[in-house]
Chain A
Amino acid sequence: MMLDEQQLQKLLRLKQFEQPPPGYFESTLVEFHRRQRQELLRRPALQIWFERLISGLWSFRVPTYAYGAAFGAFLVAATIVGSGVWAPYTETAETASGPVRVASSPRGLELSSYRLALSGDVDWSKFDRSSVSPRVVPVLRPSQTALPRYVLDGTPVSYEASFSF
């Protein structure tokens, strides 16, 4: 006679009586604590720190409101930059002092402007680098050194637009 399904299940259930000797789990807990301490002493501090960091990252949850706040901040920044209220490369007193220093006399200004505008061959010796701020590179950007109205109008020191003539 073959074991039927029910008998087999009863037989298997008997395996729950296969237990370790009494006191086993208490002594194993002591062993667990001992291993934990050993592991802590064995591992370098950097590894422990790294594991905590990774664990922290896994458990880190971005709050829902953070998405809204980030989008709001983006909108404000986009509005400010887009409306022209603030532009990172506008002519400030500091950057403006660069070309003015170089061309402190009308003749010098004329010369440097023509050179910059027509040939692009900049005479770097005319720049006083120590007095010019580290923003010397933005000062010499093509958009600022080759203003077309200096060339076409022939009046490099004038800041009036060409259509006013």
Chain B
Amino acid sequence: MDDQNLPDDETLVRLTQNGDTRAFDHLWHKYSPRIYSLIYNMTANHEDANDLLLEVFAKAYRSINGFRGKSSFYTWIHAIAVNMTINFVKKRGRRFQLSLDDLDANVQNDKEFIDLTAANTPVREVDLAELQHRLNEAMMKLSVEHRAVVTMFDIQGMAHAEIAKILGIPEATVRSRLFYAHRQLQNYLEEFRKK
């Protein structure tokens, strides 16, 4: 079954609830890259992201009979991932290692990358690996709740309303967290630029 002929999420969930494990594999293929990205950007560690990704899908599989379709599967599994990652990061404390510092080669062709590096911006003055490293460091200085919002909005491109639904908070809180997080990141990166 290729991606175009794939049933919608609702059907895949129903099939999984009826014991069709292949249907859950399709859900895995569809959502694991996004969930991985979410977890990775909240933990900044590949091994942790790998373990959590497996745990998130294992939990989703165990609980899928309780999924009533009040929200989309997409929202539901993101909520599981965010909650598990927040718990994990809080338990882990401030210890973290930056492990996945290799940007995909495609970034070189990305319009935003070209814009950023071609213009007269602070970004141009530093090499990409260093910039990425600093950005990850700055991200890790944010609280895990703020990091979650930045990851979903800025990196994954989700809407405010969707983030609010996943986190179970009002949209206004999402906006204020974003505002605060952006200020923090700007300050951290500014400090780096001055060095």
Contact = CB atoms under 8 A, between A and B. Distances in A.
Interface of A: 1-3, 5, 7-20, 25, 28-29, 31-32, 35-36, 39, 51-52, 55-56, 58-59
B186 A20 contact: no
Interface centre among B25, B40, B106, B155, by most chain A C-beta atoms within 10 angstroms, is: B155
Given A29-B28, A32-B57, A36-B58, A14 B107 contact: yes
B41 interface: yes
Contact of A17 (B54, B58, B106): B106
Contact of A3 (B41, B58, B189): B189
Contacts of A17: 103-104, 106-107, 110
Please list the 10 inter-chain residue pairs (A to B) with the smallest Cβ-Cβ separation, ordered nearest first.
A12-B154, A17-B104, A17-B107, A58-B66, A55-B65, A10-B112, A15-B155, A19-B104, A25-B32, A17-B103
Interface string B161-195: 00000000000000000000010011001100000
Contacts, number: 108
B112 to A, nearest CB: 4
B113 A14 contact: yes
B14 to A, nearest CB: 12
A16 B37 contact: yes
Contacts of B154: 9, 12-13, 15
B54 A31 contact: yes
24 contacts: A1-B121, A2-B186, A3-B121, A5-B186, A7-B116, A7-B121, A8-B182, A8-B185, A8-B189, A12-B154, A12-B155, A13-B157, A14-B116, A15-B41, A15-B135, A16-B37, A17-B110, A18-B41, A25-B29, A28-B53, A32-B57, A35-B58, A51-B62, A59-B68
B5 interface: no
Given A12-B154, A20-B46, A1 B122 contact: yes
A18 B54 CA distance: 19
A55 B61 CA distance: 11
Nearest to B135: A11
B100 A59 contact: no
Given A12-B150, A28-B53, 8 more contacts: A1-B122, A7-B123, A13-B155, A13-B157, A14-B107, A15-B132, A20-B100, A25-B33
A18 B40 contact: yes
Contacts of B186: 2-3, 5, 8
B144 interface: no
Interface string B46-73: 1000100110011001110110100000
The prevalent SS among residues of B at the interface is: helix
A4 to B, nearest CB: 8
B131 interface: yes
Interface centre among A16, A29, A51, by most chain B C-beta atoms within 10 angstroms, is: A16
Given A17-B107, A18-B132, A19-B104, A5 B182 contact: yes
Interface in B113-166: 113, 115-116, 121-123, 131-132, 135, 150, 154-157
A29 to B, nearest CB: 6
B135 to A, nearest CB: 6
Nearest to B120: A1
A61 to B, nearest CB: 8
Interface centre among A17, A35, A36, A39, by most chain B C-beta atoms within 10 angstroms, is: A17
